[in-house]
Amino acid sequence: MTNKIKQAVILAGGLGTRLRPFTNEHPKPMYRFNNKPFIEYLVEQVKSFGIKKIVILLGYKAQEIQDYLGDGSRYGLTIEYSVTPVEYETGNRLLEIRDLLDDRFLLMYCDNYCPIDFDKLVRDAYKNDAAIQITAYTNRDNYTKDNLLIATDGKVEVYDKKRETLGLKGVDIGYAIIKKETLDLLDSNSGIVNFEKEVYPQCVAQGELFATSVEHRYYSIGSWNRIELTEQFFSERKTIFLDRDGTLNVRPPKACYVERPEGFVWLPGAKEAIQKLKENGYRLILVSNQPGIARGNLSVDTLNAIHDKMQADLRQETGYEIDAMYYCPHNWDEECECRKPKPGMLYEAQKEYSLNLRKCILIGDDERDIQAGKAAGCKCYQVKDDSSLLDIANKIIQGD
């Protein structure tokens, strides 16, 4: 779609007290991963959204950020700054730049990063004619404390900044498409004012606050207990998801299963493909539907024995193994979240390995594999009669 949002605003003025002692000397967004400040990852992400104008709202130790990012020209962007007193809250900082704001703009926090589907967020905002369309992490894994209650149509029914209401599910992570006119809901004469605390509940009451929910975990520099996972996330080790039957081994006839180790027959070139990918630094993760377990055709112990045989074959002939394996044991009618074409197994691996799924690859032979990969934001390749796993592996390696 043609991007209707042309401006991003990044809130980056706070003291960052939870990241002391680092923030005794530096502003929080300058915390580095791979020798790159966190805020630079955000600027690059904004550019990937197709946005060329950024306004960064600063307060504490503003000059270090300004000196590093400059006017944005080296990123192919225009960056403007608004520097306000350290004690200002988000509402005060936004009111300060009201005349600079587009009618609709993207608002981001300086301490959260999530590889969101920005086009979907924009589509949702316009479809709902939302005063504010936030991004909400579903938080099924209890990664943090919830502050939202969201209806099935995406309308936010409760926003609780203090996170005290019972029954909350989901958490606001920023990446909000906001109508400039919502600033009218702020009382500019009330002193220090928090935008979310004051405006979001009013938009809820008016039925104008909506959420685009994401399953992909977000990463943060908000506190030290998040830093290690964020470090893993930005390490960005190359990762490929592999289907099993029809991709690695000969697919059994319809409604039949590999029911014993001897029934696992490698496809020509599959072991060589795995060897080449491993030699080129890829982490390989198996994701396989195994409804035979639910139907009583094989047990978990038998499945493990099949996979042990698969790994032994690889060790013997290539010296490598597949790094991790996930399987869905459910039948098609159980409505689970892990059976492809749903992307549940990919999200499970994402959390365990701190992956950026938008930089991962999925390879499978079935359209359900491709649907699962696309739903998670992966780049997808399909094994076909004229395109084997080895052919695809060579293409991926050459693309490196």
List domains and CATH numbers for the chain. 7-235 (3.90.550.10), 239-399 (3.40.50.1000)
Query: What is the average pLDDT score of the chain?
Result: 95
Whether residue 153 lies in the annotated active site:
no
Q: What is the reported pTM?
A: 0.92
Which residues, given as ranges, of the chain have pLDDT below 50?
1
Q: Which of 146, 243, 365, 369 is catalytic?
A: 243
Q: Which of 284, 266, 265 is nearest to 274 (CA)?
A: 284
Buried b (16+ CB within 10 A) or exposed e, 200-230: bbbbbeeebbbbbbbbbbbbbbbeeebbeeb
pLDDT tens across 44-85, in order? 999 999 999 999 999 999 999 999 999 999 999 999 999 999
The dihedral sign for the CA sequence 95, 100, 104, 109: negative
pLDDT for 23-47, tens place per residue? Answer: 999 999 999 999 999 999 999 999 9
User: Which token pair is 347?
Assistant: 């999200």
Are the beta carbons of 233 and 354 closer than 8 angstroms? yes
Structure tokens at 267: 């496809």
Mind listing the pLDDT tens digit for each residue in 385-399?
999 999 999 999 998
Query: What pLDDT is attached to residue 1?
Result: 44
**Cα-Cα-Cα-Cα dihedral of 144, 146, 151, 156, to 10°?**
-110
User: Residues 85, 56: contact at Cβ < 8 Å?
Assistant: no
Selected catalytic residue, list 111, 245, 365, 366: 245
The count of other CB atoms within 10 Å of the CB of residue 174 is 21
Assess whether 245 carries a catalytic annotation.
yes
Select from 300, 374, 366 the least CA-distant residue to 330.
300
Strand 171-172, strand 239-242: pairing:
unpaired
